[in-house]
Structure 1
Amino acid sequence: MDHVTSFPLRLALATVIPVALTACSAMTHFDDAIAENADFGGVAAIPESPALFDESTIVPDGTTSDDGLVVKDITTNALPVDPFLVKDTGSIDKVRQLFLSSCMREKGSSVTLPTVRFDTDEPRNPAIAANSGQMIFTPENAGKYGYYYNSVYPNNGVLEFNAAVEEIYSKGSGIDQSDGATNTDPDAEALAACEEALMESEQDLYGMDSQGYDSKESYEEGLKRDPLGAMYYYTGTNTAYVKRTTDAWKTCMAPLGIADLPDSPLEMPPASLDEHWYNNQVDTNPMTHAASAEELSVAKADATCRESSGYNRAMYDVSWSMLQDYVNENKDILLEELKNRQSIEQKRQEYISSHLN
């Protein structure tokens, strides 16, 4: 099951993958998100993705990865790192809901927080790539969901839960700066204490020690045990092989008459379209906005041009080759980290099972 999540650090990774391109730049959002989450173990700077690439390493679809576990297929965005990724079940959202709800009751609050639905067996929408949880940006999918694909994800209730939490916090007036005294609503005060307690339990429930970066290690070192992060780093965007396709993409897009058409598909849609579609409020929350007919039309044309120009194919081919090398070089570390992440997921699901009633 693929979800929009509430957890800060995971937002750093929920941007784009080679074929499942969202409306925003991969490295720009990844850089910003990691930097903003430096307190959670993030690093301050991320180098640009590699520019050097040996084109002779490209293999056709149908080729099996070196470990025999993945078959190359652009239609599903299958990649050599897939076996080292843990399925996103939405357990982290359910844990937060159960923990805070229980904690609030223990502190005497009568507030009832919305329920976050949790179902590990819910079938995945085929428009979503199984490895990244992002939409595969084909003409068919883009024409159906647009750039921010609000209806591609099932709503597990986390947005309503987050809204309720924000509403509780809004009741508190915070700290009176004149004398430093705290003047807040009892429910808001209880919620803040519960959030703090949850963060203190993060190693067991959130797995920050395993899924975050050690602030003392370099980005390259952290990447060796982070297959999802590797997907956003080894994209091929800076390689000549990919860049050769962008001129053809721009030529294909020219008839749309977009005044600020960007140089790269990764930067679509540009500010002019964002402002036009969302009334100057660029909101990339995929559950917030329903795509207009105009957005669907532009998105479909964009996806069609990415395919006809060879851009999607080039991105996928380079990513497969780079990530194959990445897996070969770091397999032992990746296997160890996979066990850690599976253990964390098991702990979350055990917590959920023991706190449902």
Structure 2
Amino acid sequence: MNASIIAQSNEIDFHNRLIAIVDDDEIFRSYITILLMQTGARIRALACSDELLELIEREMPCCIILDHRLAPENGIYVFKRLRARYPHLPPVIMLSADESQTTAVKAFRNGFDDYLQKRNLQSGEIEQAIQRALANHQTSRCGAPAHDTPKGSSARMDLINNIIPCEEIGNIFMQVEEIADRNARDVGALAIRLSQWEQILFRFGKKSADDAMTHFADRLKAALLPNEICGRLTDNTLCCVLVSDVDAAHLRLRAEALQSALSFTLPIYSVRYEVTPEIVGTIRSPGGKDLADVFRQLPPFARNDDDRRSAPKTQENVIPAV
């Protein structure tokens, strides 16, 4: 893992802090409770969402561990209800007996702070997940920009579009790596740049550039497959992570499909821009480099219009596994 993308802070002390565990499986609920009691935290083991709501009305936990297949409700549905009701919800970690990578993708897409598989879960894993979630949550709250800087504007747009923002994508990368390595799976990585973003920013200003990225991000989300996650790398570049067994041919096909889906005409005042993406990518093998490093080491995008005309086609920029 890349330590640079973990919040730089001392370990968070759980002593006397409230952690809620919500799982309808009484045996597993008790098992998690025993694991976490060693941290000195106050643990509330709950069987359903109603019990969780009752607890929150009395005292907000510092972290919630929520079962995916919570009977009679789905954990994702419960999480969405909580977010709508409590704007300052603490970190929520999905717990699941389903070992498919698609479930992990669903968790991250819907905004869970982390994802844990129930099978062979150890105390160290769950403690580390809570530490990461609390540290990242604390960093995002303390570091939230108070004025309309370009970074702040992008962060707000990401929340509206449900695109994972720059500040959080590193943590998602780490979780994807862990799942892929555990299951010995390759992961596809595509970086996707809106090539006209700088022109739009220079001619029409930040709002028009953000509007262009909004349309761009909406189209990317609509084109995603169930096993894909999208997020932001920079102001004008998004990423698509293919969390599945993927080979070079599959990655090229996805790059071509996204090239088509993300090419459109955008009217800005009296100007009509033919928006086109630039896409580069590679495959991360199990045990390979951190995804953050993989994206940093992708081939460079073309620098200007002349470079783009002479640059290789998208599928030729998809390089071998690293």
Q: Which one scores higher on RCO, CA 8 angstroms, separation ≥ 6?
A: 1
TM-score (ref. length: structure 1) = 0.24
Q: Which has the higher strand share?
A: 2
Q: Which has the higher helix share?
A: 1
